[in-house]
Amino acid sequence: MTQKVIIFDFDGTIADTVDALVTIANRLALEFGYVPINPQELAILRNLTAREIIKYSGVSLFKIPFLVKKVKGELKLKIPELEPIDGINVALIELYNQGYHLGIITSNSQENVNEFLKCHNLDYLFNFIYSGVTIFGKTTIINNVLRQKQFKPEAVIYVGDETRDIESAKKANIKVIAVSWGFNSSEALSKQNPDFLIHHPSELLDVIKSC
């Protein structure tokens, strides 16, 4: 039997970074030419796809790589303050103990992810961490990982909190579990028809076993 591989997104899925990212984004609003995000606006953004958010914000596509780089740099300073999503530690340890092969694919920096995992004694759980700047999705990175690691698509499950995670996983022909505790709302995630939609990390093991 082929060992199942569970690939996780990082921000909003493992690490509770949404508030920190909003704070950083608001501090950079004037420099990059968009309106700061208030609580009402955040509620609107949670229901939009990545493309819709960029259109809504009015940020130039040419500025986005520079914005992403700056956000990652500022987030690095906040890593010691960040906490894991409530209950995710237990779920990850459980999956690891059950023999699943765990990895991370993120648009955050590998340095930030490694530091966070070490801060919370979670680094031993993951076999690989891949990072890449992706505005609309991670399909290319997922496909590269599948090829390099020689994973069979049918043995891989992606876990993420954004609509673009669902789109990317589908394009890569792997199953996807959407989680409602991160950035996008349950409604926005449901519209993308993930294989599963869950609301607490305690649901992960049972859902993965059923795949």
Sequence-separated (6 or more) residues with CB below 8 Å from residue 101: 3, 4, 5, 6, 127
Task: Confirm if 3 and 64 have CB atoms less than 8 A apart.
Answer: no
Q: Please tell me which residue in 9, 11, 161, 165 is annotated as part of the active site.
A: 9
Instruction: For residue 194, count other CB atoms closer than 10 A to its CB.
Output: 23
Conformational region of residue 87, where left means phi above 0, alpha means psi within -120 to 50, and beta covers everything else = left
In three-state secondary structure terms, 158 is: strand
Strands laid side by side in the 156-160 sheet: 128-131, 101-106, 5-8, 156-160, 175-179, 196-198
Verify whether residue 9 is a known catalytic residue: yes
d(CA 112, CA 173): 28
Q: Which residues are tagged catalytic?
A: 9
